[in-house]
Amino acid sequence: MERVSYAEAVRRGLAEEMRRDPLVWALGEDLSRAHGSTSSTQYCGLIDEFGPKRVVDTPISESTIMGAAVGAALAGTRPVAELRNVDFGLCAIDELVNQAAKIRYMFGGQARVPLVTRQGLGLKRSLGSQHTQSNEVWFVHTPGLVVVAPATPGDGRGLLKASIRCDDPVVFLEHKELWATEGDVDFSDDGIVPLGRARTVTSGTDLTLVVWSRMAIVAEHAATQLSALGVSAEVIDLRTLWPWDREAVFRSVRKTGRLLVAQESVLVGGFANEVAAEVSERLHNTLVAPVRRLGAPRIPMPYSPPLEDECRIECRHVVEAALSLVQNDRSRKETT
Amino acid sequence: MERVSYAEAVRRGLAEEMRRDPLVWALGEDLSRAHGSTSSTQYCGLIDEFGPKRVVDTPISESTIMGAAVGAALAGTRPVAELRNVDFGLCAIDELVNQAAKIRYMFGGQARVPLVTRQGLGLKRSLGSQHTQSNEVWFVHTPGLVVVAPATPGDGRGLLKASIRCDDPVVFLEHKELWATEGDVDFSDDGIVPLGRARTVTSGTDLTLVVWSRMAIVAEHAATQLSALGVSAEVIDLRTLWPWDREAVFRSVRKTGRLLVAQESVLVGGFANEVAAEVSERLHNTLVAPVRRLGAPRIPMPYSPPLEDECRIECRHVVEAALSLVQNDRSRKETT
Amino acid sequence: MGNENTASASIGRALALFRTMCLIREFEERCAEEKARGTVPGLVHQSTGQEAVPTGICAHLRREDYLFSNHRGHGHAIAKGADPAAMMKEIFGRQGGTCGGKGGSMHIADFSVGMLGANGILADGLTMAVGAAQAVSLKGENRLVCCFVGDGTTNRGPFFEALNWAQVFRLPVLFACEDNTYASTTRTDEVFAGPGVVARVASFGIEAASVDGNDLGAVDAAAGRLIAQIRSGGGPRFLHARTYRIRGHISSDPLNYRRAGETETHMATEPIARYQKWLIENGASETDCSAIRAEARALIERAVAESMAAPFPDTNTAWTDVQDIGGPQWNG
Amino acid sequence: MGNENTASASIGRALALFRTMCLIREFEERCAEEKARGTVPGLVHQSTGQEAVPTGICAHLRREDYLFSNHRGHGHAIAKGADPAAMMKEIFGRQGGTCGGKGGSMHIADFSVGMLGANGILADGLTMAVGAAQAVSLKGENRLVCCFVGDGTTNRGPFFEALNWAQVFRLPVLFACEDNTYASTTRTDEVFAGPGVVARVASFGIEAASVDGNDLGAVDAAAGRLIAQIRSGGGPRFLHARTYRIRGHISSDPLNYRRAGETETHMATEPIARYQKWLIENGASETDCSAIRAEARALIERAVAESMAAPFPDTNTAWTDVQDIGGPQWNG
Ligand SMILES: Cc1ncc(C[n+]2csc(CCOP(=O)(O)OP(=O)(O)O)c2C)c(N)n1
Ligand SMILES: Cc1ncc(C[n+]2csc(CCOP(=O)(O)OP(=O)(O)O)c2C)c(N)n1
Ligand SMILES: [Mg+2]
Ligand SMILES: [Mg+2]
């Protein structure tokens, strides 16, 4: 076991895959050079080991970063297309959604598109409206894509490796506030984390708390606080958003009878609705209370810290919602 | 009253607004010339009345069509940015989501972005994977945007007019199979349909059927068939997806106790989840059965008609689901 | 038409090129006929009149070379060696189609001959092409990548990005611009600034040639030269071929935005009759040419008949080949 | 530096320009200091060393002209007349900020002086600029639109689309390229094909000038000429200003990708000392210059002090100005 940051764990995961398979390569803006911001350390030093043909500094051409990755995947390589932020990823979403996601199907299975696109997700203090979005549900809604959003260094490494080995396009979402977080990783083994499998963060009996990405860290803290208040929460970190681990969630809800889904992204139209709607429909009789969802208000992210805090889902929101759920609090009445 | 096609109704609605307000103008590819496909008739003849400065044939530059519309809105005009298809709209989604949707907020209310972007939605026979998508939920999930998806000629005209008068960016989604459908429109009045207000298509008592866009037509047929089978369905056409008319839906569900939400788009991660999750959470005690959702399987749309039919939600699916819902059919058991 | 002289080394090769053009022509015309008859479910973008461009270019491509096409791609696919019968079945949406009926006209691909796909989104094939070339270079392979782009599409941002990218990384790519005067209902020159696409391309340091795209000999010669340069490691090249879209944007287009007589004027320079004239002047017989035309017609006729007779795909196939993990059965 | 002679008609005007440059310099340096001290919450992109470019260009803009900026936009805003104190408050996220604290450094806008926004997404300001110019032309107004673009950003597709668009519609737009050698950690010349951006621009038929962007006189003269041409209906123009980014990409950038001595070499040609030298050679006194520098320092110092003292915005304001219909209270 080694204690490493998330950024370092995924960096080494990528290096391991590049060593294993000479067809794996990475492309994106400013990959090869050290940089002041943590968001670049995940490629640090790779150019020295793998050279400029496999760690490619590209022009500022997002459409072509993604389009080239698709073409390169069709031509038998396994590109990792770094987009830095889902926000910049919007400049390449046509190539991802209209090409990468559809080609295997559209061409009747003649080809696969084994690409991974890495995109920074979500909030980091005061980056403003154009650098903090979370649009994971867009990708979940798009047939052909696999969607991954790991929360820990070990899962970051293990799921990146699994994503690179996947024969279909994977959107690999790395929350920007996770880069600096640390965890123990065992680099002596392969460390592959299978796609589509959730992680039970804490076991519990009173309610199920479904989360992903940075919210898994928040939920873990919330579970500790809840436990001190006598509430036993089972925290499930989905890790993969498509396909999400329905079995794990259903199993847990059958045990607890209550479900809270908490996301950082805007609640309206978000991924929490997917989990909530599935559970509400399929486990209607099992639920002892209606499924609760937490998510950001439908507001572009503001810059000033106190305003930003208005729009963030934090530990206390999760604790409050969980408490009201177990107390079957009906203060939020069925009228509007 | 005049009997006109949807395409003609929206064409005249746009002309009315352009006559009323000299700051309204339209831009897009091939707007000014007649074309073999119905999808161009909605601008037919406008150039003769308004000239090439207000009906602008643009280069094939989707990013700039949307970006220019944003800039033109900031500079005090009301552009209508025609993108033809949501699929092509993906080439301009950065400008829509990162700029149009956020500017008013990000700049602290100094400016508004009164633009309308018209984008063709959904299926039309055998257009293939890249011309048939439905991604309305993406826009609903994006703060700053209003999202409209009218089903009838009158609503098309009335909501386009309301959208043009709206001071915020509106995504105006016109289902491609609706162009040729006909309806009665009263052009002697203003005809404005307010944003955010649903339309009750048929009243009923046994279940509520929430739909939008082309699915409103399908649901109307389904209600007729259901009625023949002794089931009374209340069909609610949302018309506006953001903000959606929660009051109308809640009112109806309080009456019927049952809800089926049917959409053409992929079920996973789709807008039906939004309505289902809200109703499941807020009206838990009112519901006599779990909310049901219908949507397409998570498959890029295939070309060949019988394959395409596998992926379409049609009248018979709606009827079946409605029947199983009123019969409280639990054949779909709570196990997986 | 002097170029034709130098370019076509032997009359046998010339007749083979003629045959390809005839095949494309027959394919396009029959497709549109079938569309009008209601037997074809999707859209048909014909390339009638543009046959010399893919024919002259693909004459210099090898099977292992990659081709990225666009929405008007039947001719590209045929010239690259795709089976017209399988293509026709695809357009009819039948079993045995190149993509099993899942793609249709706008998404024909035949990976077995290096045809990596038509495309319904303008310019996306270009960015994919430069990536494929990067893969080729990473793998140390000896392939070339060719991509086609329409005149109107040269105003889309990704076109420029791809040019820059190809030249920065010195990639083995041939960009082939089929300038057929129109983009849908718009004359490209009305929305195109500056002296022309060749000047734009040159500003990226990429060598470009501009030829009469209805002169097969000229296309053949220029393509041969540029492709040889690419193969010898010279980096990307650009071929601008001036041609004319004789039919509508899609087969049902009434063409009411054209000047009177415009189509007819251009019919006079369409490439097939022109090349036939040259062939006969250079030793081929009228009979040879007629036989080739008849053979092409018969081949396409057979393709149509086979397509009509072929069953539709099994509906189960709608559910396959989406993705390995999280396929559509998940929610089914 | 002969240009400076012709361009600066009077020493009074020259001193005013000098003052603008000093204001920008002080603003940038103090911002970075505050960022390092932890008082600024967001990112800071400094334009230290590039002051002559916006100063020389905005000297020819009127209040009603529109300006679209990018992520490195403090200098653009100050030169266009935005209040540095309100800008500083914005960067501190305080009440009284240009955007009420909702925007921050990357989204400073001041519509009252025609500054229509910095931008966190590269190249998007360009497409917005051509649209604003189209609105101006539709309304028959007499405004000009200026937009700034970095060297690295000239590889993004929308840059080219905007050029074509501006020229097709003959719009009153000045594109101003601040070529500061770098794009983030990458030297732009390593990922830029062809002879240069001016050649690219020329291929759209747009007239362009290239100047030493650290020579205020040269910028001033070229901008004056191009803007006059635009105002007289000549359509879009392009100004390429060669400069150098003395500081890091963001203020915390360790600059470890630079050659030894590189920054120092470029310090020798930074525009402020250079212009001061010229001023003194041309009749201004050392004292005048020092007074202006001191005044700028004091003004920015006051802006920082005011910002620090200003309260944070009321949290209620987080919920306002999203949209009229369907605002965030809907679900609240
Ligand atoms: C990104 C995108 N925008 C718009 C369209 C619609 N469209 C299809 S073909 C076409 C015209 C293309 O013109 P050109 O590039 O000259 O090719 P041609 O059709 O003449 O072969 C347009 C606008 C599209 N398919 N994709
Ligand atoms: C579309 C997009 N891609 C990437 C980024 C990240 N980014 C911000 S600034 C920058 C470099 C820009 O370089 P240049 O255009 O030369 O401007 P400069 O920073 O030198 O002023 C990059 C890559 C972004 N903000 N937007
Ligand atoms: Mg064309
Ligand atoms: Mg730069």
Is B35 assigned a catalytic role? no
Contact predicate B196/B173, CB 8 Å: no
Contact predicate D155/A59, CB 8 Å: yes
Q: What's residue A49's pLDDT?
A: 97
Which residues, 6+ apart, have CB-to-CB distance to D328 below 8 Å? A297, A298, A299, B143, D319, D322
Q: What's residue B33's pLDDT?
A: 81
DSSP A122: S
Put simply, the answer to whether C168 touches D193 (Cβ < 8 Å) is yes
pLDDT digits (tens, 9 = 90+) for B96-112: 999 999 999 999 999 99
Residue identified by tokens 């260009």 is D57
Q: Among all residues of chain C, which has the CA nearest to that of B62?
A: C156
Alpha carbon A184 to its chain centroid, in Å, reads 19
Put simply, the answer to whether A143 touches C164 (Cβ < 8 Å) is no
Distance, CA of B136 to CA of B214 (rounded, Å): 13
Share of chain C above pLDDT 90, in %: 94
Distance, CA of C231 to CA of C142 (rounded, Å): 8
Residue identified by tokens 């760690």 is A55
Mark the residues whose beta carbon lies below 5 A from ion ligand 4: D 150-152, 180, 183
Q: What's residue C295's pLDDT?
A: 98
Contact predicate B276/A275, CB 8 Å: no
Distance from CA of A239 to the nearest CA of C (A): 14
Put simply, the answer to whether C157 touches D155 (Cβ < 8 Å) is no
Q: What six digits make up the tokens of D244?
A: 């150098």
pLDDT digits (tens, 9 = 90+) for D128-166: 999 999 999 999 999 999 999 999 999 999 999 999 999
Distance, CA of C247 to CA of C255 (rounded, Å): 8
Is residue B241 classed as helix, strand or coil in its secondary structure?
strand
Distance from CA of A43 to the nearest CA of B (A): 26
Select from A10, A336, A325 the least CA-distant residue to A163: A10
C116 pLDDT above the threshold of 70: yes
- HSE-CB at C2 with a 13 A cutoff on CA atoms is 0
Dihedral angle of Cα D97, D102, D103, D104, to the nearest 10 degrees: 60
Is residue D13 classed as helix, strand or coil in its secondary structure?
helix
Conformation bin of residue C117: beta by default, left when phi > 0, alpha when psi is -120 to 50: left
- Give the pTM: 0.97
D120 pLDDT above the threshold of 50: yes
Ligand lying closest to the C-alpha of residue C180: 3
Select from B152, B194, B153 the least CA-distant residue to B170: B194
Q: Which chains touch A (3+ CB pairs under 8 A)?
A: B, C, D
Is residue B228 classed as helix, strand or coil in its secondary structure?
helix
Q: What's residue C45's pLDDT?
A: 97
pLDDT digits (tens, 9 = 90+) for C22-52: 999 999 999 999 999 999 999 999 999 999 9
Is residue B174 classed as helix, strand or coil in its secondary structure?
strand
Q: What six digits make up the tokens of D197?
A: 């951006």
Q: Phi then psi for B298, rounded to 5 degrees?
A: -80, 80
Query: Cα A39–A300–A121 angle (5° rounding)?
Result: 25
DSSP string, A160-216: HHHHHH-SS-EEEEEETTTTT-EEEE-TTS-----TT--EEEE--SSEEEEE-THHH
Distance, CA of B18 to CA of B6 (rounded, Å): 18
Q: Which residues line ligand 1 (CB under 6 A)?
A: B 29, 60, 62, 88, 91; C 71-72, 120-122, 150-153, 180, 182-184, 188, 245, 249
Distance, CA of B233 to CA of B230 (rounded, Å): 10
Distance, CA of C201 to CA of C163 (rounded, Å): 7
Q: Phi then psi for D198, rounded to 5 degrees?
A: -65, -40
Q: Between C127, C145, C321, which is nearest A67 by CB? A: C127
Put simply, the answer to whether C164 touches D194 (Cβ < 8 Å) is yes
Q: What six digits make up the tokens of D152?
A: 């690295």
pLDDT band, residue B335 (cuts 50/70/90): very low
Least confident range of A222-236, C317-331, D94-108 = C317-331
DSSP C115: B
Distance, CA of D3 to CA of A309 (rounded, Å): 52
Alpha-helix runs per DSSP H in chain A: 6-20, 46-50, 62-74, 86-89, 93-94, 103-106, 136-140, 153-165, 214-228, 246-256, 271-282, 305-311, 315-326
Contact predicate B208/B234, CB 8 Å: yes
Q: What's residue D2's pLDDT?
A: 46
pLDDT digits (tens, 9 = 90+) for B160-208: 999 999 999 999 999 999 999 999 999 999 999 999 999 999 999 999 9
Q: What's residue C256's pLDDT?
A: 87
Distance, CA of B308 to CA of C41 (rounded, Å): 11
pLDDT digits (tens, 9 = 90+) for D290-319: 999 999 999 999 999 999 999 999 999 999
Decide: residue A336, CB within 10 A, 0-12 exposed, 13-18 middle, 19+ buried: exposed
Assess A299–D contact: CB distance below 8 Å, yes or no: yes
pLDDT band, residue B331 (cuts 50/70/90): very low
pLDDT band, residue B330 (cuts 50/70/90): very low
Q: What's residue A35's pLDDT?
A: 57
Averaged pLDDT, A123-148 = 98
DSSP C312: P
Distance, CA of C1 to CA of A236 (rounded, Å): 73
Distance, CA of A276 to CA of C38 (rounded, Å): 45
Contact predicate C72/B274, CB 8 Å: no
DSSP string, B7-28: HHHHHHHHHHHHHH-TTEEEEE
pLDDT digits (tens, 9 = 90+) for B14-72: 999 999 999 999 999 999 886 545 456 889 999 999 999 999 999 999 999 999 999 99
Query: How are beta strands A55-57 and A170-175 bridged, if at all?
Result: unpaired
Select from A113, D29, C163, C330 the least CA-distant residue to B266: C330
DSSP C56: H
Distance, CA of B27 to CA of B25 (rounded, Å): 7
Distance, CA of C252 to CA of B35 (rounded, Å): 9
Interaxial angle between packed helices D157-168 and D124-139, expressed in degrees from 0 to 180 and rounded to the nearest 10: 20
Distance, CA of B290 to CA of A328 (rounded, Å): 19
The 10 Å Cβ neighbour count of residue A44 is 16
Query: Cα B277–B279–B282 angle (5° rounding)?
Result: 105
What Å distances lie between residue C118 and C107, C128, C152, C236, C321, CA to CA? 5, 12, 17, 21, 19
Interface of C with A in 122-181 (CB under 8 A): 124, 126-139, 145, 157-158, 161-162, 164-165, 168-169
- Tell me the domains of chain D and their CATH numbers: 12-307 (3.40.50.970)
Sign of CA dihedral C5, C7, C11, C16: negative
- Tell me the domains of chain A and their CATH numbers: 2-185 (3.40.50.970), 199-335 (3.40.50.920)
Select from C205, C67, C90, C78 the least CA-distant residue to C143: C67
pLDDT digits (tens, 9 = 90+) for D222-239: 999 999 999 999 999 999
Distance, CA of D116 to CA of B110 (rounded, Å): 9
pLDDT band, residue B312 (cuts 50/70/90): very high
Query: Cα D259–D265–D268 angle (5° rounding)?
Result: 160
Interface of B with D in 36-55 (CB under 8 A): 53-54
pLDDT digits (tens, 9 = 90+) for D190-225: 999 999 999 999 999 999 999 999 999 999 999 999
Contact predicate D127/B27, CB 8 Å: no
Q: Which chains touch C (3+ CB pairs under 8 A)?
A: A, B, D
Least confident range of C218-222, D44-48, D328-332 = D328-332
Averaged pLDDT, D94-98 = 98
pLDDT digits (tens, 9 = 90+) for D101-115: 999 999 999 999 999
Which residues, 6+ apart, have CB-to-CB distance to C175 below 8 Å? C126, C129, C147, C149, C162, C163, C166, C201, C206, C236, C237, C238, C239
Distance, CA of D204 to CA of C291 (rounded, Å): 48
Ligand lying closest to the C-alpha of residue C181: 3
Distance, CA of C5 to CA of A79 (rounded, Å): 45
Conformation bin of residue A163: beta by default, left when phi > 0, alpha when psi is -120 to 50: alpha
pLDDT digits (tens, 9 = 90+) for A159-218: 999 999 999 999 999 999 999 999 999 999 999 999 999 999 999 999 999 999 999 999
* A127 Cα to the center of ligand 2, angstroms: 15
